[in-house]
Homo-oligomer: A and B are copies of this chain.
Amino acid sequence: MGRWEPGARERLVMAAVDLFTEQGYDATTVAQIAERAGVTKSTFFRHFPDKRELLVAGQETLSGLLAEGITEAPTDATPLEAVAAGLRRASTAMGPLNRELAPRLKAAVAASTELQERDALKTVSLAAAMTKALTTRGIPDPTAALASELGVLAFKRGYAAWSEADPTSNLADHALAALNELRAASASLG
């Protein structure tokens, strides 16, 4: 299996995350990101309108895929089966870039309150997108909110496990295992 070769877009994301970790989000300029990635500033702007968008672009895709998977689940799927369908759909969007990025992004977020706030909003947005898709399926309010919280937790836990696991393993398998584990845990809440 050959080493995965990132394109300009992927190199820009990795360069940005590394620079955010080293010197902070505020202090990092588009020029520095482009230089580290070995591309021109105009290449940066062909891919992203600004450095903020570079971070949130992936999030909107992810929310969309989670919602799509939930919407297209079979009519007779239970709330958690619909969430599982969302996790499977979203996992298809996560390739080698995301796997390589995971530990770097974690370090960048740990180093910056601003990125922690952004990351937290991402979590809340993913839950909101899933809740909306579940509600549209006719799942009543407290159940939909709870199922989507389980889905977000499962995605995060699965993603963390995947980034430390055998590189040939599949994100969907890790996320679904995490969802099953959470479902089992819900029986022992008391």
Query: A residues bordering B, Cβ < 8 Å?
Result: 77-81, 113, 116-118, 120-124, 140, 142-143, 145-147, 149-150, 153, 157, 178, 181-186, 188-190
Contact = CB atoms under 8 A, between A and B. Distances in A.
B142 A146 contact: no
- Copy number of this protein in the oligomer? 2
A116 B119 CA distance: 11
Nearest to A82: B190
28 contacts: A78-B189, A78-B190, A79-B190, A80-B189, A80-B190, A113-B121, A116-B121, A117-B117, A117-B118, A120-B120, A120-B123, A121-B121, A140-B185, A142-B178, A142-B181, A142-B182, A142-B184, A143-B188, A145-B153, A145-B182, A146-B150, A146-B153, A146-B182, A146-B186, A146-B189, A150-B189, A186-B186, A186-B189
A178 to B, nearest CB: 8
A106 to B, nearest CB: 14
A164 to B, nearest CB: 15
Contact of A117 (B79, B120, B147, B182): B120
Given A117-B120, A145-B182, 11 more contacts: A78-B189, A79-B188, A116-B121, A117-B118, A120-B120, A120-B122, A120-B124, A142-B181, A143-B188, A146-B182, A186-B186
A185 B142 contact: yes
Contacts of A149: 149-150, 153
A144 to B, nearest CB: 9
A17 to B, nearest CB: 18
A147 B80 contact: no
A118 B114 CA distance: 9
List the 6 shortest-distance A-B pairs measured between CB atoms, nearest first.
A78-B190, A117-B117, A120-B120, A120-B121, A142-B185, A143-B185
